[in-house]
Structure 1
Amino acid sequence: MRSFEELVAEGEAISVEGWDFSWFEGRATEERPSWGYQKLIGTRMATAEAALDIQTGGEVLAGIPIPTAPSRLAATESWPPNLEIARRNLAPHGGTVVEVADDAPLPFDPESFDLVVSRHPTVVIWPEIARVLRSGGVYLSQQIGSGTVIELTEYMMGPQPVGTGRSTEKAVASAESVGLSVVQVRPESLRMEFFDIAAVVHFLRKVIWIVPDFTVERYRDRLLALHEQIQRDGVFVATSERFLFEAQKPGAVS
């Protein structure tokens, strides 16, 4: 059996660049939402003329079949280490990736896209989405809900308030405030499992908003306690909150 120090060292050593989660295979699992986001996006892309993927560097777009890609395909990415990875991944689809801060205006003309998508955006700039959508255009997003992975956050940090910043109610109100019509909102609570402390360490380094001030040294005592709990129980269980959100800009498709 590998020691706590060995597992922590492994979790610290794995690169956090990109959004490839394949390293977690056999060490952690996350239940997937029932709507199948990537397949859904692929279906929508097949009928779009111009599409934009926000804040992911086109990670999901890179997985859609090339024949279904729109004639104009763009993506934004805010983290410099991911830019070249994203550009390589999207190049076969004829797509472009632009470096844009998550909270900055989008560098595109008004009414540029008939489909805007985003998987797990850190922040949603609703006026910008409304601006770049064509009349009749659609915003489709899989978002992280309030209280996601709260069990791990509170294990590390103690009791925490669950904010409303990522609630479905706020998303609906924000979309409607910029003139978008909400088409559907589908929330789901999904099971997550961590099977060793290396997976926890790597996850907290990669998904930095779960424990915002996380470092191994700062949380070593809590990590050791969690390591011992996982050894005893075989797993640490948490819950991820997700919701599918679709809104449309009024007017006929141009």
Structure 2
Amino acid sequence: MSTFEALVAEGEAVPTEGWDFSWFDGRATEQRPSWGYARLLAERMSKAEAALDIQTGGGEVLASIPVAPPALAATESWPPNLVRARRNLAPFDAQVVEVSDSDDLPFPSGHFDLVVSRHPVRTRWDEIHRVLRPDGTYLSQAVGAGSVRELTDFLMGPQPVHPSRSPIVAVADAESAGLDVVDLRQEALRMEFHDIAAVVHFLRKVIWIVPGFTVDAYRDRLAELHDFMQRHGPFVAYSHRFLIEARKKA
């Protein structure tokens, strides 16, 4: 088996459940946003009475908080992640509910004083407004428009950047739903992929970078990318993140 085939097979074999990225240590790197979402999350959670984490993944980020509010809930749409989230959040006695990313939230109106979401696939601003208490806060770190487009374009050819992920659109949608945006920050963050196994695993795990990705469908382009990295070193791309904090009017 060639080095390329062995690395591709390795990247295909890694489980994709949850949002634990420790497998990438030594194989890929990504700068972290300067605002420190996990720290902000811990601060907000320590002061909340009732909190909701939307699209929690495997609950890994939420489980990192040192102090949980008296009432804690989370939603997730993918069944394998639900199993992980319920296990990870069990110490907090959290309610973890299966909810599609586009569906209404199965909670009463005005139920939470804090709603959070890290890298939501879709943001239902109307539902966030509904379940928040007056003066309640929504805090989210989101994926910005054109994130990792260098990798997308290498494999798929030049692709349009969808403005729906723009922070400008997020602010407009939040305000249209009746929320006041009190903080907005955005950064471009350098990523480096050191081998093709890391690329394959990343594309299997972060499925919106190359929609419908399979190794068989992109084998020729993956081989070209492998050769590129062998000759020129790590493949560099840039992820785009923005932090948005909004408050429901009293």
TM-score (norm 1): 0.96
Instruction: Show structure 1 runs of 4+ deviating over 3 A.
Output: none
Aligned residue number for residue 242 of structure 1 = 241
Determine helix, strand or coil for the equivalent of 2:20. coil
Q: Does 1:232 align with 2:234?
A: no
TM-score (norm 2): 0.98
Aligned residue number for residue 85 of structure 2 = 86
Determine helix, strand or coil for the equivalent of 2:164. coil
Taking the aligned partners of 2:212 and 2:97, their CA distance within structure 1 comes to 29
Q: Does 1:136 align with 2:135?
A: yes
Taking the aligned partners of 1:230 and 1:120, their CA distance within structure 2 comes to 28
Taking the aligned partners of 1:244 and 1:82, their CA distance within structure 2 comes to 24
Runs (5+) with no aligned partner, structure 1: none
Taking the aligned partners of 1:165 and 1:186, their CA distance within structure 2 comes to 17
Determine helix, strand or coil for the equivalent of 2:165. coil
1:213, distance to aligned residue in structure 2 (A)? 2.1
| Equivalent runs, 1:181-192 vs 2, <5 Å | 181-192=180-191
Kindly indicate whether the alpha-carbon contact (under 8 Å) linking 2:56 and 2:62 is maintained by their aligned counterparts in 1: no
Taking the aligned partners of 1:157 and 1:84, their CA distance within structure 2 comes to 33
Q: Does 1:111 align with 2:110?
A: yes
Kindly indicate whether the alpha-carbon contact (under 8 Å) linking 2:138 and 2:246 is maintained by their aligned counterparts in 1: yes
Aligned residue number for residue 53 of structure 2 = 53
1:232, distance to aligned residue in structure 2 (A)? 1.1
Q: Which amino acid aligns with 2:61?
A: V
Moved more, 132-141 or 208-217: 208-217
Determine helix, strand or coil for the equivalent of 2:89. helix
Q: Which amino acid aligns with 1:135?
A: P
Aligned residue number for residue 221 of structure 1 = 220
Aligned residue number for residue 62 of structure 1 = 63
Taking the aligned partners of 2:36 and 2:239, their CA distance within structure 1 comes to 15
Taking the aligned partners of 2:153 and 2:228, their CA distance within structure 1 comes to 15
Taking the aligned partners of 1:16 and 1:106, their CA distance within structure 2 comes to 26
Runs (5+) with no aligned partner, structure 2: none
Q: Does 1:124 align with 2:123?
A: yes
1:82, distance to aligned residue in structure 2 (A)? 1.0
Aligned residue number for residue 20 of structure 1 = 20
CA offsets, 1:29-52, max 9 Å, x none?
110000110111000111100000
Determine helix, strand or coil for the equivalent of 1:123. coil
Kindly indicate whether the alpha-carbon contact (under 8 Å) linking 2:77 and 2:101 is maintained by their aligned counterparts in 1: yes
Q: Which amino acid aligns with 1:3?
A: T
| Equivalent runs, 1:197-216 vs 2, <5 Å | 197-216=196-215
Moved more, 94-103 or 148-157: 94-103
Q: Which amino acid aligns with 1:30?
A: E
Aligned residue number for residue 73 of structure 2 = 74
Taking the aligned partners of 2:204 and 2:162, their CA distance within structure 1 comes to 22
Taking the aligned partners of 1:73 and 1:63, their CA distance within structure 2 comes to 14
Aligned residue pair count? 249
CA offsets, 1:194-223, max 9 Å, x none?
000000000001111100021111111100
Determine helix, strand or coil for the equivalent of 1:46. helix
Aligned residue number for residue 38 of structure 1 = 38
Taking the aligned partners of 1:26 and 1:119, their CA distance within structure 2 comes to 24
1:59, distance to aligned residue in structure 2 (A)? 2.8
Taking the aligned partners of 1:59 and 1:169, their CA distance within structure 2 comes to 29
Taking the aligned partners of 2:68 and 2:61, their CA distance within structure 1 comes to 12
Q: Which amino acid aligns with 1:165?
A: S
Q: Which amino acid aligns with 2:8?
A: V
Q: How large is the RMSD of aligned CA atoms in angstroms? A: 1.1
| Equivalent runs, 1:154-173 vs 2, <5 Å | 154-173=153-172
